[in-house]
Chain A
Amino acid sequence: MRRRQFIRLTMLASVGMILLKSCRDTALRFVLKITGTNHLLGHRLWTKDFPVPTEKERYKFVIIGGGVSALSAARALIKTNEEDFVLFELEGIAGGNSSSGSNNYSAYPLGAHYVPAINLHHKELAVFFEEENIITGYQDGKAVYHPEYVCHSPQERLFIDYQWVEGIEPNNRLDDDCNGQFLRFSSQMKDYRSAKGTDGRFIFDLPLAYSSTDADYLTLDKLSMKDWMEQEEYIHPNLLWYVNYCCMDDYGQGIDRVSAWAGIHYFTSRKHDLYSEHQELLTWPEGNGFLIKCLEKYVKGKQFLQHVVYNIDVQKDKVVLNVFDERRNISKQIYAERIILATPQYINRYLLPDRKINYGKFCYSPWILATLVLERFPLSEGAELSWENVIFQGKGLGYIYNQHQNLTQYESPFVITYYRALDGGNLKEERKKLQRYSDEYWKNEVLEDLKTVHPEIEKYLVSIEIFKRGHGMISPSINFLFSEDKKEALKPIGDKVFFAHTDLSGISLFEEAFYQGTRAVEQMLNDEKILDI
């Protein structure tokens, strides 16, 4: 009797436990979605396995590519009243490294997510910002930015010593050695920011092409940022981590691979306020996807997505392009007077196989971005949730709070985007890993890193979307920025093919992309004027 009762009780209790546990477990179930750049279609370029063209079209100009440089080229064409052009983009969405996505709760970036206050001597960019009401006016010689676009406070926080602190510099002010090196570094960068060469130009400028060509400083491109820091006796691990973080963030590679010139450029090229520590920057929930939307109005009705240009035949009086339309699964032949190739060099090598350029010099690190929807925001010690949330010595680059620029009150669910550049020993290997490793693997990689700061994050997770970017931004490796290969890749082919991609700048920034697109159009149209005479 007693035993039977005992068994009954245990059974009941265990049923109860299972019920309770299942209530908890439902919270751990979330949606996992994996997307990425179209590496399959890209790889078909290599085999050229496309149908025979069945249609013919004729345009004055064709822009190939759909990133910032391509769209900026389109804008430049419209500004000079050239309407007869089309744009072909391989992906299903425009934007390239600045593309973006959205879910029910927020827009989010799939790549670049901010632009620091611009150099006003980059005049065309300032004009563009005025047109889009990003710059609303000028005061004391400085631009006034639209209050909704300037990154709201609190901007940044760093997770270090088990808590969040404001700002991302891991400078321990109580440690004289650490503080001393940070101060010295900062003051040296300040000097470089205002330094000019014998030609009167800034040593480090943005666009990079505006920089001084003094040979003295160009030698900085011949050593790594790490070696340079060692030479200058910057050895404190916190400072090394910080500079490494900055290089990873902008260049996708760390201080041991990025050239010293590029590393210093990161800290010195923005001149809007030579003496201020405070970096004003512009951001949107969709990141630089906002700027893509601004630029897309210049390609209305002219932009063809999921169109792969797979063959370029430069003839005497025209350029003949073979274009595959993935949606209709047919190929077209396009005749153009001139074309702008706003595609990265890893694509160009298949389009123009005859060019004698060492494409191996162009390095692009693979990236993963993960956008997480959280039912609640996990509580943590220290500084409040900021726009950028960086984990000291984390695997990734931290996460962005996508709804930060909203004017509304905090509202559940929260949407964050986590960034990580895969800067392993060999970029090619890393890229293969990206495609080969399981979805589960990447999900765990992301969550493991985030759990170091938010141990209970999985409990609140509604969905996670991982975006794999096989080729992220160009990395300014040692001996690349001023190399012959880079110069060669920039040279037009006859008066027919012009090059505009950001990798020709060597650093992947919105300003550079805009500059390249605008410059390529100028170059192309000026050439025409010469012909007309």
Chain B
Amino acid sequence: MANKRRFQFLLLMAVFTIATCGLIYELIAGALASYLLGDSVRQFSYTIGTYMFAMGIGSYFSKFIEKKLLKRFVEIEILIGIVGGISSTLLFLLFQQGSYFQVVLYFLLGLTGILVGMEIPILMRILKDKVEFRQLVANIFTFDYIGALLASILFPVVLVPKLGLISTSIVFGIINIVVGLLLIYLFRKELKDTFILTFKSIVAFSGLCILLFFNKEVLDYSERNLYNGSIVYSHTTPYQKIVLTNQGADFQLYLNNNLQFDTKDEYRYHECLVHPVMGFAASVEKVLILGGGDGLAAREVLKYDEVKFVTLVDLDEGMTQLFAKNPRLMAYNKQSLTNPKMEVINQDAFLWVKNNKTKYDVVIIDFPDPTNYSIGKLYTNYFYECLKQSLKSESVVSIQTTSPFTAPNAYWCINATISAIYPEVRAYHVYVPSFGEWGFNLFSNDPKQSFRYVKRRMDNLKFYDYQFESYTDFKKDMLPASELEINRLDNQVLVRYFEEDWSKLRE
């Protein structure tokens, strides 16, 4: 009798675990789909529906399994472990590609659903002669629903923030297989020949463990706390680490852990980077964008019909590919990177500028902040000198130049460096909530350029109002503390200023 009770208890624990795992896979699919495709209500609704339906199919198919029920049950367990365990890794790899994502997502979701759907009916049949039916039904469904509750609470509170999506799915795949292995061990007498079954599950188990071992997310655990939102996508290119996070309805892009944009207010930044310079330029036929691989500045540039040709030079192919192929991100940059007017060049900006002979009417520079000496080179007097080759006599340039509030010395150092090379330079700034007070500079080689006469206006902007003068006023707390040096290759003072400014903030 005691033995029988143990038997029953173990199988019910299995139900409990299975239910938890099953719901977790469903939640992962729902979360991934809403991250990638947007519209979370619709995505969750579809994934839950599909999953439930697939479970129905699974239940139907369960009747075709007639013999060796316990063995089949364990096999299904292992199969769920494999499919569920690798599902999010597969989907993450497909994230950048975009196109086949949906097909694969629903295929995996369906497969998991079918397998999970087969479990309960089979289990009920295994237990039907051993337990009173009334009790059996009640117990199985009780544990099934408790498991579901546990999963839905654990998922957002513990699993996603602590483990991340990929590791969560692998870990639960492993749990599924461990349950299978335990069942094999406990019911070795009933199962009789367990060798092949053990072998299969150990192979699957080791496979998932290796996957977990090589999973970057686990290694990056310490970095997880850097981000406010939950990580949707993380990709390390040869040049930088791209992390996309989600917070409510908005997305944030981090490059090497520095916030690049937040979809809730990036329009402020990009409108102010692009429209002032486009307004003051004599012509805007040919536009050069340096950096800005996210295509958001390009989106603003392409609003002008006058623009005939845009060259975008960004070092990181991984970045421009992501923003050219991923449907979620393409919705933000309005497919700017695949626009026929665009030419995307993946090359080092300094080398490109040094060798380029084509002249542009407008240049927009959107490099990362000077956080290291190699980026610092892109803010040197020599870079600005080399840039002249790409400019006509009346061309105008706009450049993002970090925050004048947080890093006033760095901001004005860039301004001083440009002023040493160009006769007309104008500093301006704007408030971007997710960044704080943010600074830019306009400059030109044309001494007649006064940054006063707007030659063209873009209607329907969300923020920029062409009152340029109103952005050029700097209060005392945004001015440098002392006289600043010019940033040269052989002194790299900018990186030092930037570091000092930021360390003051940390204190």
Contact = CB atoms under 8 A, between A and B. Distances in A.
Given A20-B210, A409-B374, A8 B490 contact: no
A16 B203 CA distance: 10
Interface string A133-172: 0000000000000011011111100000000000000000
Contact of B373 (A12, A384, A412): A384
Contacts of A410: 372, 374
Interface in B323-369: 348, 350-351, 354
Interface in B483-497: 488-492
Closest 9 CB pairs of A and B: A153-B492, A408-B348, A407-B350, A147-B382, A410-B374, A150-B490, A152-B489, A409-B374, A16-B206
A411 B203 CA distance: 39
Nearest to A384: B373
A228 B203 CA distance: 73
Contacts of A8: 195, 198-199
Nearest to A147: B382
Interface in A1-53: 1, 5, 8-9, 12, 16, 20
B437 to A, nearest CB: 27
Interface string B202-220: 1100100010010000000
Contact of A148 (B199, B213, B489): B489
A152 B492 contact: yes
Nearest to A19: B210
28 contacts: A8-B195, A8-B198, A8-B199, A9-B202, A12-B202, A16-B206, A16-B210, A147-B381, A147-B488, A147-B489, A147-B490, A148-B489, A151-B490, A152-B377, A152-B492, A153-B489, A153-B490, A153-B491, A384-B373, A407-B350, A407-B354, A408-B350, A409-B315, A409-B348, A409-B375, A410-B372, A410-B374, A411-B238
Given A5-B198, A9-B202, A409-B315, A384 B350 contact: no
Interface in A242-266: none
A411 B238 CA distance: 7
A280 interface: yes
B178 to A, nearest CB: 14
B50 to A, nearest CB: 36
Contacts of B210: 16, 20
A408 B373 CA distance: 11
Given A150-B490, A153-B489, A12 B382 contact: no
B145 interface: no
A407 B351 contact: yes
Given A148-B382, A152-B377, A384-B373, A408 B351 contact: yes
Contacts of B374: 408-410
B239 interface: yes
Interface of A is mostly: loop
Interface string A398-419: 0000000001111110000000
A380 to B, nearest CB: 15
Contacts of B348: 407-409
Given A152-B492, A154-B373, A409-B375, 8 more contacts: A5-B198, A8-B199, A12-B206, A384-B372, A407-B351, A408-B351, A410-B372, A412-B238
Interface of B: 188, 195, 198-199, 202-203, 206, 210, 213, 238-239, 315, 348, 350-351, 354, 372-375, 377, 380-382, 488-492
Nearest to A12: B202
B494 to A, nearest CB: 10
A65 B99 CA distance: 65
Contacts of B206: 12, 16
Task: Tell which of B188, B351, B380, B489 has the most Cβ of chain A within 10 Å.
Answer: B489
Nearest to A13: B206
Contacts of A151: 490
B22 to A, nearest CB: 28
Contacts of B354: 407
Nearest to B240: A409
B210 to A, nearest CB: 7
A148 B380 CA distance: 11
A201 B175 CA distance: 85
A20 B207 CA distance: 11
Task: Tell which of B188, B350, B374 has the most Cβ of chain A within 10 Å.
Answer: B374
Nearest to B188: A1
Contacts of A408: 348, 350-351, 374
A230 to B, nearest CB: 37
A16 B210 CA distance: 9
Contacts of B213: 20
Contacts of A9: 202
Nearest to A151: B490
Contact of A280 (B195, B199, B375, B490): B490
B198 A152 contact: no
A9 B210 CA distance: 16
B489 A150 contact: yes
Contacts of B382: 147-148
Interface string A193-220: 0000000000000000000000000000
Contacts of B491: 153
A409 B239 contact: yes
A31 B213 CA distance: 28
A150 B488 CA distance: 10
Nearest to B353: A407
A408 B197 CA distance: 56
Task: Tell which of A153, A155, A411 has the most Cβ of chain B within 10 Å.
Answer: A153
A155 B350 CA distance: 20
A411 to B, nearest CB: 7
B492 A154 contact: yes
Contacts of B489: 147-148, 150, 152-153
A155 B348 CA distance: 22
A152 B315 CA distance: 21
Contacts of A411: 238-239
A152 B490 contact: yes
B495 to A, nearest CB: 8
A408 B239 CA distance: 11
Nearest to A155: B490
Interface in A363-416: 384, 407-412
A152 B213 CA distance: 40
Task: Tell which of A8, A147, A151, A412 has the most Cβ of chain B within 10 Å.
Answer: A147
A150 B377 CA distance: 13
B316 to A, nearest CB: 9
Contacts of A154: 373, 492
A152 B492 CA distance: 8
A412 B210 CA distance: 26
A411 B374 CA distance: 10
B268 to A, nearest CB: 28
A378 to B, nearest CB: 16
Contacts of A147: 380-382, 488-490
Contacts of A5: 198
B240 to A, nearest CB: 9
A153 B210 CA distance: 43
A301 B375 CA distance: 43
Contacts of B377: 152, 407
B304 to A, nearest CB: 30
Contacts of A280: 490
A408 B375 CA distance: 9
A276 to B, nearest CB: 13
A384 B374 CA distance: 11
A147 B491 CA distance: 11
B119 to A, nearest CB: 26
Interface string A409-443: 11110000000000000000000000000000000
Contacts of B492: 152-154
A409 B315 CA distance: 9
Contact of A153 (B198, B199, B373): B373
Contacts of A12: 199, 202-203, 206
Contacts of B490: 147, 150-153, 155, 280
Nearest to A403: B374
Contacts of B203: 12
